[in-house]
Amino acid sequence: MAERLPVRKTYKLYVGGKFPRSESGRTYEAEGQNVALASRKDVRDAVRAARKAQPGWAAQTAYNRGQVLYRVAEMMEARATDLAAVCEGQDEVEQAVDRVVWYAGWADKLAQVLGSTNPVAGPYFDFTIPEPTGVVAVLAPDEPPLLGLVTRLAPVLVGGNAAVVVASEPRPLAAIELAEVLATSDVPGGVVNLLTGRRAELAPVLAGHMDVNAIDLAGADGDAGELERLAAENVKRVVHGRADAESLYEIAAFLELKTVWHPIGV
């Protein structure tokens, strides 16, 4: 009997809930593997997918968004061995799972903490509620590869935003494994889109894209100044995220506060 050849894994992009190859057909070598090298068109496709998916994700109840994120944590736990192989081991996987659970718990509480009713002088009342910013670009930090990515992605999703993530250039495999987790969880296709490739090529496209509402420069390294300049073209919100942050205010960074006024007795 002939010796069986194993099926080698193909590392693709994750866009619109599917795993396409880069439209350019390009790859690059990272962590001993050939990884898809995303193009400018792949960025535009990812933004389009995020824009299409974001209203439906925002329209879900806060409780349901929390349950979906908790499901992501469950699936990460189930795939812990695969995830540990592409990061710093089991300890990092456990920290990443715990971080997703922590943010999931805020989904149906953040409105009460970040929102408010406001004292006014007159026959009316007003209250302030948080709303999602929209489509958020995330430049994932290089270290730690899984925990850093989860730390920047989870607060974006909790408040109802959709994300286009540029994975770590030297360590992209954790992002690809996480994409497989997302695809087998309840996150709607297009809510999270993951691109692998050259950060210097992809980040400026996202920073200057007129349909991206905010950008997290956690993994921007020395390019932050130029990316901020590009982001100013459509007054994007610019966030300088940290790979180790865990706070309610990390969620607030990707929310808009809307104040509604209403006459009393009408």
CATH of the domain at 197: 3.40.605.10
CA distance 193 to 180: 11
Interatomic CA distance for residues 69 and 100, integer angstroms = 7
- DSSP reduced 3-state for 248: helix
Whether residue 229 lies inside any domain: the answer is: yes
> What does the angle CA 137 – CA 112 – CA 130 come to, to the nearest 5 degrees?
35
- Coil, strand or helix: which one is 237? strand
Distance from C-alpha of 53 to C-alpha of 94, rounded to nearest angstrom: 29
| pLDDT tens per residue across span 171-230 | 999 999 999 999 999 999 999 999 999 999 999 999 999 999 999 999 997 789 999 999
Lowest mean pLDDT among 115-124, 153-162, 202-211: 115-124
pTM of the model: 0.93
Domain containing 191 equals 27-263
Determine, yes or no, domain membership for 1.
no
> Does residue 22 lie within any of the structural domains?
no
Asked if residue 16 belongs to a domain, the reply is: no
Q: How many distinct structural domains can be found in the chain?
A: 1
Instruction: Please report whether residue 99 resides in a domain.
Output: yes
**Distance between CA 227 and CA 241 in Å, rounded?**
14
Q: What does the alpha-carbon distance between residue 235 and residue 16 come to, in Å, rounded to a whole number? A: 26
